Amino acid sequence: MNPFNGLRIGLGMDSHRIAPGGPMVLGGLKLDVDMHFVGHSDADVLLHAITDALLSAASLPDIGQWFPNTAAENHGRDSADMLRIAVDAVRQKKLAILNLDCVVQLEKPKLSPHKEAMKIRIANILGIETDQVSIKGKTGEGVGEIGRGELCEATCVVLVYPAL
């Protein structure tokens, strides 16, 4: 018996290397910068973390099982499409999103100018309100792979509840 009326939490994490040449796809947006994330899909590290968090909350297989990087149909795939499929799977389990909290660790570009647009885009994909989405940006302060601008990591925690 769940004492919290069916509340479930999911945790998602992702990381991608950074390479020269843009654009960078992050939070469902194409940022006009001269670097990009390296990956089989569009490598949107934030949407991948959100996708995994949702799948986790619903006790479903992870993003790698749903969208393997060995499958040709996932080459260059829009991560927003993968997130929509995950949201549909969560809804099929009769769960609804209460909120999500995301942290993006990235030396540059700075996220502050893009956070509101990312929140709007993510809320739109998820079919929720923007005040249910939190995005924080952290730098590596010049330390490690993140601080040297070689890597981006994203972590997302999502809270879901039984839909009526």
Single-letter amino acid, residue 83:
L
Range of the domain at 61: 8-162
**pLDDT by residue (tens digit) across 52-109?**
999 999 999 998 888 878 777 868 778 999 999 999 999 999 999 999 999 999 999 9
| Count of structural domains within the chain | 1
Which segments within 94-150 are labelled E, that is strand?
A: 95-105, 133-138
Residue 123 parent element (H or E): helix 115-126
Residue 2 lies in a domain: no
The CA distance from 22 to 110, in Å, is 15
Which residue in 55, 62, 49, 159 sits closest to 105, CA to CA? 49
Peptide bond connecting 61 to the previous residue in cis, omega within 30 degrees of 0: no
- Supply the pLDDT for residue 2: 55
Residue 3 lies in a domain: no
What's the predicted TM-score (pTM) here?
0.94
* Burial class of residue 2, CB neighbours in 10 A (0-12, 13-18, 19+): exposed
**pLDDT by residue (tens digit) across 105-156?**
999 999 999 999 999 999 999 999 999 999 999 998 889 999 999 999 999 9
